[in-house]
Chains A and B, each alone.
Chain A
Amino acid sequence: MKTEQSIPLMSAYLKNKGISRRSFLKATAATGAVVSLGSGMLPKMKALAAASAAPGTDQGQWLPATCQGCTSWCSQQVYVIDGRAIKVRGNPHSKVNVGASCPRPHLAIQQVYDPDRIKVPMKRTNPQKGRDQDPKFVPISWDEALDTIADKIMALRDNNETHKYMLMRGRYTYMRDILYDRMTKIIGSPNNISHSAICAEAEKFGPYFTEGLWDYRQYDVENARYILIWGADPLAANRQVSYYSSAWGTVINRAQIAVVEPRLSATGAKADIWLPVKPGHDGALAAAMAHVILTKGLWYREFVGDFHDGQNRFKTGQDVQEADFEEKYTHGLVNWWNLEIKDKTPEWAASRTGIPADQIKEVAMGYAKAAPHAISWVGGGPVMQVRGGYASMICHALNGLVGSVDNVGGTLAPNKVYTQDFPKPDEFMDEIAKKGKSHEKIDHRGRLEFPSLKKGKSGGGVVTNNAADGILNEDPNEIKVAVAYMNNFSFSAGQPERWERALSKIPFVVHITTNASEFSWFSDILLPNTHHLFEKWGYVKTHGNGYRHVSLMQPIIKRVGDYKTDENEICWLLAEKLAEQGFDNLLRHYKTYKDPETGREPANADEFALYALKYATQKLWDPARHEGGDKFSGWEEFAKIGVSNSDAYPYRKRWGKMKTKTGLFEFYSETLKEALEKHAKKHHTTVDHVMEVCDYQARGEKAFIPHYEEPLTAGDPDMYPFVFVDHKSRLNREGRSANCSWYYDFKDLDPGDEPWEDVAKLNPLDAKKLGIRNKDAIRLTSPTGTIECTAKLWEGVQPGTVAKCYGQGHWVYGRLASKVFGKEARGGNNNDLIPAVYDRLSGSTVRHAGTRVKIEKI
């Protein structure tokens, strides 16, 4: 049959039947309206089906959401039309971010509709694993994926080796315990490994061992008169970026702002004073500031106390008698002076820090004169270092000197909120599970060389990055089955090549994530996760601006792929599969998460996710259970508003009642002394030996006080002349921005950076010596790795250092993220340069002052 024959036939048919141009116009108009298709049945189809509802006439509405693009965890609203996300703004109902939004959530629109997302469960078909081995993933059904995972878990249980199961946690919500804790325990493994120690655990070390607070602080910036910031960049990264960015205009008008940071940060660029400290010497600067504050008699007497006779005996180089000073809400000030501060003059510090003595005095005095409305703000910079725990203590201790702890215009703890834990798992843990869980953890926490003293407990905190070595060395045992979610340790942890080998060694790895990453590359099954801002069930708690909010995550758009939520839906579905195979403990446990409104137990994954969320937040929305904060008429209203705020901050309530051993703010930490002595005793040794094994310089009582320790930076200065300075981007959505074009388009939002480039920033004086010009391709080499990137000459870094933003250098992750997929990275991954070393007292992985590098023009 020829086309030429059928054309006249069809056109004649139309003409003969009286179809005119007029009716043609009418028909064309019908493309914008529903046409009756008559009474005929639809043919059998795969992609399409009869519409169940009338076409959308939705004009759109703002629906509540939560951003986890960084750990600010701002409450958001998303404009949704017909199930599609259009735009994002801050949720005006939050008292933490107060309707403000930073640039990050806008990138989330690119993420959620990224064509490179994992859309369906997939399985690896290439059994070989390695960077050069394409996994050759193929799509499978959820049933097949979950059956396979259940088979592997049941095999462990059948062989009494459930301790060889491992759960790795990256970005979580507060639904986390369903997967991270309850599932791991009921299966029977000790190995739930969080990402926390590659985040900023060392930041919590100082506050804990001075004021008993193992948490991130909030800063009362609008009431502050001096803000001294150590290696934090609140206008760009972590935490409360939206709130601080919104409030900063007011803050600048009211307060003097000094930023201590080796490179000029976004916050530094807006500050009154930038103190470009030599990397790793923050502790020396803080010690000298304490010295100035004490010798000048500028401490805040209402908090710290005074000499009995009012005469200041803090004289450089001279010991003070403890009995001469009467402390009020602090402990050990004189001891601290005698052991550490008395000799730490500004002149002494100037030679180490590169900051002139006069400037140290000026800043210290300005800071102390603003007491108690003076914040010493400790970020990741000085603390995520080898020996960083003590820098965390000494920088934070300045808050104690000026009485800003828990005070107006000072550094505050999180407010109390009334969420509740999920039901306990204990009665669902059988003998296999109990025995399995009793094994040692794979990350070696609590060993002599890893005190990891979270909340004062030996082995209390995770040593995330060391888990790779545990897996590789099968120490304490091999890992056979691993489930990981929203993490990418083979990119985001120092010396990531170890993770590549470790993951290749595990026979069965499941990765639950949104975009297939360097971690997924070594996995056997990929499960497509929901996107936190638009598709997930969950909630988070976060604090700032004197409040704490609980912000909800709900599925507010149509999921275009076959995504399911990591921390609830997938858990339920896997529990059903395990039950089918005869192990129903997990499912029976999950069925105890009953709907608080109806008392019904969940019957499917959707109900489980909803009931679990309602259960955890019941005291916030149920008027009968209300204990504080915002009031709601019920779940429906809470779900509609999407955020609940705590009561306002109760200033000074913790003075004298801190959770330290003495109840006081400890300049001599009895709390740390007890923790270290317990750890030493556990290993039948001395604290000095612990210090030695863990690479700290302190001996004797110095181990118990905030003090300066010299940085321990890898690389011979002759061979590697530059100290490497890592920093974070205003647009990094927790390292998940690399496949978003806007990330590259707007990269120059980060001071010194360039659009569509991954630049290493050198001081022009250094560049001249090396013969390097702007835009030259360069190679950075450390003792552990090499990366290639682009040179940027910039006065915002000091000579002898080279600064580079973390986030690029992916060799997979999506079409935009890598230059030549699977082969050549776009830019370089900073972690390739940074060795796997630790601040062992907190378990933290080192990011800063961790290595020196050499720079070569390519």
Chain B
Amino acid sequence: MDTHFMISRETARQQAYQSLAGCFQVPDNNIARIMDQLSDSLETLSSRAGEPVTKMRTNEAVLTDTHLLKAEFSRLFIGPYTLPAPPYGSVYIEKMRKTMGESTIDVLKRYQAVGVDLADNFREVPDHVSAELEFMFLLIYKEIEGIRSDDPEMVHQMLVHQISFLQDHLNSWIPEFAGLVMEHASEPFYCLLADTAKIFMAEDHAYLEAVLASAGLDKENRLAANLDVEG
């Protein structure tokens, strides 16, 4: 079994999520480094999302002087005024333009189910895009640990968590969120970032579906299992 190959691929996935999580936080001087990692990981994955990232990196001025980016990030994702693209899952999933809804609590429970919670100095809601992306990063990190320590149960559990989280959360709202970002962004950076996130997560979702289906566990079974759990 070529675990090295598996690990390098899963590491690329992990780094892609980590980079995206970083991109959806207030930009600082690390943004260029984060973009390098994002680009490298998407290249490793041969992702179509690499294309918008390449465009993002062409504007070096934006990446070196983050003043403009910070203002744009604030306008789109922090407010304090119209907040054209709220980066919160519940706003899209529950259609109420409200934070801390039932879907938010579901996210929090999923974090807690694997032993993590929001960091004390992360003063945002649990279903903030950055936290959800970082959660995917963590799940993959743990999956890789499972591969390394030859703990297939752990690998399996982490894969299930990932696909379930993508399906129930991230991918159920990122496309709409990305649409709003693209509609309201006045700088290409966040427009392209939204496109990147949308493309990458759709690909990754399909990848996980395919892995589990090939392992003899198709989507229908998985859904049934979920229903059992919830029922």
Contact = CB atoms under 8 A, between A and B. Distances in A.
Contacts of B214: 7-8, 10-12
Interface residues of B, number: 94
Interface in A1-35: 1-3, 5-19, 21, 23-25, 27-35
A550 B67 CA distance: 48
B79 A48 contact: no
Contacts of B55: none
Given A1-B8, A48-B119, A115-B97, A28 B78 contact: no
Contact of A48 (B111, B149, B230): B111
A27 B157 CA distance: 5
Contacts of B117: 48-53
A767 interface: no
A84 interface: yes
A379 to B, nearest CB: 34
Contacts of A48: 111, 116-119, 122, 131, 134-135, 138
B215 A520 contact: no
A31 B116 contact: no
B81 A814 contact: yes
Interface string A34-67: 1111101011011111111111100000000000
Nearest to B75: A136
B113 A31 contact: yes
Contacts of A85: 100
Given A13-B6, A119-B78, A3 B228 contact: no
Q: Which of B112, B203, B213 gathers most chain A CB within 10 Å?
A: B112
A47 B131 contact: yes
A316 interface: no
A564 to B, nearest CB: 11
A6 B9 CA distance: 7
Contact of B80 (A30, A45, A116): A116
A138 B74 contact: yes
A34 B113 contact: yes
Interface residues of A, number: 83
B165 to A, nearest CB: 8
A295 to B, nearest CB: 61
Given A49-B119, A115-B98, A560-B124, A120 B71 contact: no
Contacts of A12: 1, 214
A45 B222 contact: no
Interface in B132-170: 134-135, 137-138, 141-142, 145, 147, 149, 151-157, 159-161, 164
Contact of A118 (B80, B119, B153, B222): B80
B212 A822 contact: no
A716 B71 CA distance: 48
Nearest to B211: A10
B171 interface: no
Q: Which of A9, A24, A82 gathers most chain B CB within 10 Å?
A: A24
Contacts of A515: 80
Contacts, number: 274
A427 to B, nearest CB: 38
Contacts of B128: 47
Interface string B18-60: 0001100110000000000000000011100000000000000
A815 interface: yes
A816 interface: yes
Contacts of B118: 47-49
B6 A814 contact: no
Contacts of B81: 116, 137, 516, 812, 814, 821-822
Interface in A509-542: 515-516, 520, 526
A231 B84 CA distance: 41
A606 B21 CA distance: 32
Contacts of B201: none
Contacts of B112: 34, 51, 54-56
A183 interface: no
A133 B201 CA distance: 38
A38 B152 contact: no
Contacts of B12: 1
B211 A562 contact: no
Interface in A92-120: 110, 113-120
A3 B80 contact: no
Contact of A31 (B5, B46, B110, B203): B110
A18 B150 CA distance: 12
Given A14-B156, A116-B81, A31 B124 contact: no
B199 to A, nearest CB: 13
Contacts of A33: 113
A597 B2 CA distance: 67
Contacts of B151: 38
Contact of B216 (A7, A15, A27, A28): A15
B196 interface: no
Contacts of A821: 81-82
A520 B145 CA distance: 49
B116 A42 contact: yes
A28 B152 contact: no
A38 B149 contact: yes
Interface in B205-231: 207, 210-217, 221-222, 225-226, 228-230
Contacts of B25: 46-47
Please provide the 7 A-B residue pairs with the shortest distance between their CB atoms, ordered closest to farther.
A17-B152, A11-B214, A516-B80, A55-B112, A562-B123, A47-B131, A821-B82
Given A21-B217, A46-B119, 5 more contacts: A6-B9, A30-B113, A31-B229, A52-B117, A815-B97
16 contacts: A6-B9, A11-B211, A18-B152, A19-B215, A29-B229, A31-B110, A32-B229, A37-B154, A45-B119, A46-B22, A48-B122, A52-B117, A82-B105, A110-B98, A561-B123, A562-B123
